[in-house]
């Protein structure tokens, strides 16, 4: 519904309804992740690499949590990260242990970033990007937000922002719960819902960007290193291309001028697209509706589990 409202607004203002040049990069958070509902961590990595290669995605970015090595992922975490890099992908900082900035002091948070960067800096494929866990940039605490922004600038790290989010982590969690409960899962319906939701997130945020920026930036799609990604990345890329998207590298996406200025809004958590819209006075909602479990969870139960 939100996308249709934005599309109508674009039509009324005379802006192009169809994208002329929609570009998007694929990025994956929380690598190396724990075992999922279908695969071991090693199997997931192999499938993700093969899926990206078969879909002709030249470069994706994996935001790494080095503190997960030997923990959530067994003993192969470092090997799996190296495999992504050998396949042509890049890696960046997602903190050492994935804290929320609102839960710790700025000093603790910056130390957590530094601990992760100490491992990452010596690795092939490293990029000087930091993505805030939970996309939480301190919410309404501007003092804390500004302290971390200053620390990143001092270290030569840039904000590894996202512009499109479909809450794929929630769909993975729902799938895991269903598997544990021995509920029958319609794999085709799961694939269709995954692709539809992620493409919808990209299209919604592109319409939003065109309205508030007057152009389509090179977008950054937030995904996670999940079993669903391992299963459906070729289908997702096919769906994006069918919707008019060109898959670009993370390097190209982060070269876009969109990231050259950090927004100042009452509360920072979410996509950069949303923050820019809020900064320009656009009223809520400024986010894709399926990031809300109230919308996403019933869709999953109805379409994937066949519940009514």
CATH number where 169 lies: 3.20.20.370
Q: Is the dihedral of CA 257, 242, 201, 32 positive or negative?
A: negative
Higher pLDDT: 8 or 233? It is: 233
3-state SS track over 275-307 = HHHHHCCCCCCCCCHHHCHHHHHHHHHHHCCCC
The residues with which 32 forms a beta bridge, in sequence order, are none
Predicted confidence at residue 72, as pLDDT, reads 62
Question: Residue 7 falls within a domain, yes or no?
Answer: no
Distance CA 198, CA 221 (A): 8
Q: What is the C-alpha separation between 141 and 150, in angstroms, rounded?
A: 14
Residue 87 forms part of a structural domain: yes
Spatial separation of the C-alpha atoms in residues 58 and 61, rounded to whole Å: 10
Q: How many CA atoms lie within 13 A of 134 on its CB side?
A: 13
Count of domains forming the chain: 1
CA 169 to chain centroid, in Å, comes to 9
> Tokens 């710790």 sit at which residue?
104
The pLDDT, as a whole number, for residue 75 is 64
In terms of residues, how long is the chain? 308
* pLDDT of 148: 98
- Structural domain includes residue 116: yes
Least confident of 11-20, 90-99, 145-154: 11-20
Residues in CB range of 114: below 8 A, 6 or more apart: 155
16 pLDDT band, cuts 50/70/90, is: very low
**Residue 74 — very low, low, confident or very high, per pLDDT cuts 50/70/90?**
low
Copy the structure tokens of residue 29: 């958070």
| Structural domain of 295 | 22-303
The answer to whether residue 10 sits within a structural domain is: no
Contact (Cβ atoms closer than 8 angstroms) between residue 256 and residue 77: no
Q: Is the pLDDT of residue 108 over 50?
A: yes
How many angstroms separate the Cα of 107 from the Cα of each of 33, 101, 114? 26, 10, 11
15's tokens: 């802006």
pLDDT at 88 over 90: yes
Strands 136-139 and 268-269: antiparallel
Tokens 């990143």 -> residue: 152
Residue 239 covered by a domain: yes
In a domain, 186, yes or no: yes
Residue 156 lies in a domain: yes
Secondary structure of residue 70 in the 3-state scheme = coil
Per-residue model confidence as pLDDT tens digits over 173-216: 999 999 999 999 999 999 999 999 999 999 999 999 999 999 99
> Is 3 within a domain?
no
CA angle 245, 250, 256 (to 5 degrees): 80
User: What distance in Å separates the CA atoms of residue 81 and residue 70, rounded to the nearest whole number?
Assistant: 13
């Amino acid at each position: 519904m939100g996308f249709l409202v934005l599309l109508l607004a674009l039509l009324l203002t005379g802006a192009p309804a169809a994208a002329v040049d929609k570009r998007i990069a694929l990025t994956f958070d929380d690598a190396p992740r724990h075992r999922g509902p279908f695969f071991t961590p090693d199997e997931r990595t192999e499938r993700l690499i093969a899926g990206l290669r078969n879909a002709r995605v030249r470069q994706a970015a994996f935001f790494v949590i080095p503190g997960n090595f030997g923990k959530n992922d067994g003993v192969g975490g470092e090997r799996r990260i190296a495999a992504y890099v050998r396949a042509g992908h890049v890696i960046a900082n997602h903190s050492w242990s994935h804290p929320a900035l609102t839960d710790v002091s700025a000093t603790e948070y910056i130390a957590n970033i530094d601990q992760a960067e100490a491992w990452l800096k010596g690795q092939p494929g490293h990029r000087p990007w930091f993505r805030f866990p939970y996309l939480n940039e301190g919410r309404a605490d501007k003092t804390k937000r500004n302290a971390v922004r200053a620390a990143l600038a001092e270290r030569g790290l840039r904000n590894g922002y996202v512009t499109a989010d479909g809450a794929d982590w929630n769909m993975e969690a729902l799938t895991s719960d269903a598997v544990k409960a021995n509920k029958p899962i319609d794999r085709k319906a799961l694939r269709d819902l995954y692709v539809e939701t992620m493409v919808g997130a990209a299209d919604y945020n592109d319409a939003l960007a065109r309205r508030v920026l007057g152009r389509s930036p090179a977008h950054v799609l937030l995904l996670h290193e999940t079993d669903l990604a391992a299963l459906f990345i070729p289908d997702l890329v096919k769906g994006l291309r069918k919707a008019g998207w060109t898959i670009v590298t993370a390097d190209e996406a982060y070269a876009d001028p969109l990231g050259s200025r950090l927004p100042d809004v009452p509360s920072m958590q979410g996509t950069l697209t949303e923050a820019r819209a809020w900064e320009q006075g656009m009223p809520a909602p400024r986010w894709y509706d399926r990031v809300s479990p109230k919308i996403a969870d019933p869709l999953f139960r109805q379409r994937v589990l066949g519940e009514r």
